[in-house]
Amino acid sequence: MKKLINGAEDVLKDALDGIAAAHSDLNVDKKNRIIYRATPKKGKVALISGGGSGHEPLHGGFVGFGMLDAACCGEVFTSPTPDQMQEATKVVDSGAGVLHIVKNYTGDVMNFEMAGELASAEAGVKVATIVTNDDVAVEDSTWTAGRRGVGVTVLLEKIVGAAAEEGRDLAAITALANKVNDGGRSMGVALTSCTVPAAGKPTFDLPEDMMEVGVGIHGEPGRTRVPLASAAEIAKQLVDPILADLDFTKGPAIVMLNGLGGSPLIELYVMYAEVSKLLEKAGVKIARNLVGSYITSLDMAGCSVTVLKADDETLKLWDAPVNTGGLRWGV
């Protein structure tokens, strides 16, 4: 295992030290492993997300103006605990309520639910929840009942974050979050496995001439294991299932071409060329795009595609200023 780490057990702790050292606009609570804005905005609905680490910049890199108020960091590929989420909920609530943004993995869903109940009971915080489930690859998985939450989570945190900055109330924010999740679909491909530090070896074996289509962000099995193909063919294997699942030809779309951690930017642009060509050929009007590594799976080589239905409202929120470590524009 070749990684820039100290001990396998130190990865999260050390990464939090690095985030604290790099970003003076963030508070890092090392005991509770939560990252939150140093200068919270009073009176706005607060947004919290979180999950296992290993998907950076998601979620800690999206804490800041225009996106999240706090992120709860679990150990690598391990849900944070209800305690962490409850603490984050209390820290960021300023009376307008808190939205929990949860990727659909069994542990995350259960723990956020418990944290919401505890925060409501103990401190009277109004808590709402959105569970993202945009991955069309598999209906159920080793880690999930229902579809997995992946790339749409990034787009949702941006769009709903902008709405929260505008001062919308918790009911409106929650309705918008549901709209975004309902209109988003994703699919990923792995060329290599990731290696979890604590395991010290690749999560799965993938021969030199094969790839895993529909892979999950923890290396969960996808739909099919097929021979390594060209970028054009890979694009087709990602785009076709997305378009088969939802009609994206009415109105504009936001498209993300996301790297899984071990694939360099030059390859992501090669993929975006193919993906955007296929989508446009299918009648999808790409109004905005994002090319880069935003929701990763440690050092996995590969990428994912997310397509999101947009409209005037969501495009305006997309374009609104954002100022985080992982996404920044208009400020």
Q: Is residue 227 helix, strand or coil?
A: strand
3-state secondary structure of 270: helix
Closest approach of Cβ 69 to its own copies, in Å?
20
Site string for its own copies, 56-95 (x = CB under 8 A): xx---x--------------x-------------------
Cβ atoms of 210 and 226 closer than 8 Å: yes
Piece in contact with its own copies (CB under 8 A), picked from 50-58, 98-106, 109-117, 126-134: 50-58
Q: Give residues 230-249 in contact with its own copies (rule: CB under 8 A).
A: 230-232, 234
Q: How many residues bind its own copies (CB under 8 A)?
A: 63
Please indicate whether residue 218 is annotated as part of the active site.
yes
The contact mask relative to its own copies for 197-226 (x = CB under 8 A, - = no) is -----------x--x---------------
Nearest to 154, CA basis, from 283, 53, 32, 255: 255
Q: Which residues contact 23 (CB under 8 A, 6 or more apart)?
A: 325
Residue of 23, 59, 100, 218 marked catalytic: 218
Would you call 55 a catalytic residue per the annotation? Answer: yes
Q: CB pairs under 8 A, 24+ apart, for 30-33?
A: 32/72, 32/83, 32/84, 32/87, 32/88, 33/72, 33/73, 33/74, 33/80, 33/84
Asked whether position 110 contacts its own copies by CB under 8 A, the answer is: no
Q: Which residues in 268-327 contact its own copies (CB under 8 A)?
A: 268-274, 276-277, 289, 291, 293, 296, 298-299, 301-303, 323, 325
In a 13 Å sphere around the CA of 54, the CA atoms on its Cβ side amount to 25
CB of 329 to its own copies, least distance (A): 5
Sign, CA dihedral 246-174-85-88, equals: positive
DSSP 251: S
Compare residues 127 and 257 and give the one whose CB is closer to its own copies. Answer: 257
For residues 270 and 274, what is the distance between their CA atoms, to the nearest angstrom?
A: 7
In the complex, minimum distance from the CB of residue 81 to its own copies, in angstroms, rounded to a whole number:
19
- Rounded Cα distance, 291 and 273, in Å: 10
Binding mask 138-177 for its own copies (x = CB under 8 A): ----------------------------------------
Per-residue buried b or exposed e for 224-253, using 16+ beta carbons within 10 Å of the residue's own CB: ebbeeeeeeebbebbbebbbeebebeeebb
Catalytic (active-site) positions? 55, 218
Q: Which residues bind its own copies (CB under 8 A)?
A: 2-7, 10-11, 14-19, 21-22, 53-54, 56-57, 61, 76, 191-192, 208, 211, 228, 230-232, 234, 257, 261-274, 276-277, 289, 291, 293, 296, 298-299, 301-303, 323, 325, 328-331
